[in-house]
Amino acid sequence: MNMANTSTETPKDEQGNSLHLNDTEFDDEYVPYFIGYFYIISIVTAFSCLAGLMGNVKVIWLLSFCIKRNPFTTYILNLAVADLGTLLSDFVFMMAITFLTIESYIFFELAEVFMFFTYNTSWYLLTALSLEKCLSVLLPVWYRCHRPERSSAMVSFLLWILSSLLCGILLLCHFQGSHCTEILNTICTVNFLICTPVMIVSSLTAWITIRRHSQGHQPPRLHVAILMTLLVSIIFDIPLSISFLFFTSEDFSMEELDASYLFANINSSVNPLIYYLVGRDRKRQPRESLKVVLQRLFKDEGDPREGN
């Protein structure tokens, strides 16, 4: 299932004519520029992947075994797992394109499908996290006293199931020779039109409420970390969502798609850095361990009933 044509071959229409990429003919003069651009993007993506893999693995380990569980750590743990999967599939995706062989095409296809699965899951988890934060700020008494126990774990599980079902539909259409592109565009359109507005509205509502109630005091670190994570995700993930919506157009630009994949890659890599920068204590030693920072970040937050 080829969800995006990112090879260096000249794109063709149904009549066999060359398509234009940003009004630039894919001729001999353009090929060196594109190859150089592609390798620069690949190198930056590879470094971003490696840094993000190390950061997300450490976050997963600490949240799983070293830090007390609460609703927000549950979402962030699942988000780190989804980001880890996105980075792994993106790394394999880029390596398969860089070293084009018959065998690498199989890895290309698998990485493409798995990236769609984990990317969708992270988008759904971020939407749920934004709603969770909004509820905890707008209805603090209800949230602490009447919120269903372990609801964040159940919601995360259902979101993984939803994303896997959508991915399964695409795979089934691919094996049956159906129109996967139309189904993919429909899924991406629904995701974009529902998840993005919900994230923006809930994040703005939470931020305005926090600022109004803080009365000049510094807002809690966890609030800032979650809102920063949501803001970065909205900024960096929207280009890839838009690329998924329009990649079948004759004006489709492979350069823009490569940049969109890089933005999504950076978004999956940067979350551990956000947790560290927001959670660290600048008055203490400059290099605190990530474990200490995360313990401070999630201290006395969330629902105490939602344990390990």
Work out the pLDDT band at 290, boundaries 50, 70, 90: confident
Which pLDDT belongs to residue 249?
45
The one-letter code for the residue type at 76 is I
Q: Using an 8 Å Cβ cutoff, are 298 and 67 in contact?
A: yes
pLDDT digits (tens, 9 = 90+) for 50-62: 899 999 999 999 9
- 303 falls within a domain: no
Specify the number of domains making up the chain: 1
Residues 6 or more apart whose Cβ sits within 8 Å of residue 191:
120, 123, 241
Tell me the DSSP string of 213-275.
Answer: HHTTSPPPHHHHHHHHHHHHHHHHHHHHHHHHHHTTSTT--HHHHHHHHHHHHHHHHHHHHHH
Residues 6 or more apart whose Cβ sits within 8 Å of residue 34:
8, 26, 254, 255
pLDDT at 13 over 60: no
pLDDT at 21 over 60: no
What's 19's DSSP letter? Answer: P
- 307 falls within a domain: no
- 9 falls within a domain: no
- 187 falls within a domain: yes
Predicted structure pTM score: 0.81
Which pLDDT belongs to residue 66?
85
pLDDT: which is higher, 121 or 31: 121
pLDDT at 14 over 50: no
- 35 falls within a domain: yes
Q: Using an 8 Å Cβ cutoff, are 288 and 72 in contact?
A: no
Q: Using an 8 Å Cβ cutoff, are 35 and 253 in contact?
A: no
- From residue 297, alpha-carbon distances to 52, 211, 276 in Å are 20, 19, 9
Rounded distance between C-alpha atoms, residue 87 and residue 67, angstroms: 24
On average, the pLDDT of the chain sits at 77
Work out the pLDDT band at 18, boundaries 50, 70, 90: very low
Show the domain range for 180.
20-297
Could you tell me the CATH number of the domain that includes residue 125?
1.20.1070.10
- 34 falls within a domain: yes
Q: Using an 8 Å Cβ cutoff, are 202 and 134 in contact?
A: yes
- 243 — alpha (psi -120 to 50), left (phi > 0) or beta? alpha
- 210 falls within a domain: yes
- 4 falls within a domain: no
Q: Could you tell me the end-to-end alpha-carbon distance of the chain, in angstroms, rounded to an integer?
A: 39
pLDDT digits (tens, 9 = 90+) for 231-281: 888 888 777 677 666 655 444 556 666 777 788 888 889 999 999 888 887
Rounded distance between C-alpha atoms, residue 207 and residue 226, angstroms: 10
Nearest alpha carbon to residue 252 among 7, 10, 20: 20
- Return the residue matching tokens 């999967």: 85
